[in-house]
Amino acid sequence: MRYLLYEQKFLELLDDRKILDAIKCLRKDIVKIPGKQNCSHYLVSLAMFPSKEEVRKSASWPGKGKYCLRLLRIVWKSYIGIYALQENIQGCS
């Protein structure tokens, strides 16, 4: 879940052509996620494209708008599921 959020942040930074900020996000956040270190090679390759259109095409990412809303729905559903599970567990004790 964290990876999806940080990947979105990374892609949005690339979309805004903030390459250095995107690389900082990669180094500070994404690489530290267990099991996602290998994804950094793919993501850093996206930073090499000269235009945001090429980044979007290579990443199969439509841009900030629609994908961001879809990601927000995924995170929200996961959060609600975790919250409901915690409520059930607390109710049992």
Angle between helices 2-15 and 39-46 (to 10 degrees): 20
Higher pLDDT, 91 or 79: 79
pLDDT at 39: 84
| pTM of structure | 0.72
Q: Which of 10-24, 29-43, 77-91 has the lowest mean pLDDT?
A: 77-91
* Size of the chain, expressed as the number of residues it contains: 93
**What proportion of the chain, given as a percentage, has pLDDT over 70?**
80
Q: Indicate the pLDDT class of residue 92, thresholds 50, 70 and 90.
A: very low
Higher pLDDT, 35 or 85: 35
At position 67, the amino acid (one-letter code) is Y
3 state DSSP class of 63: coil
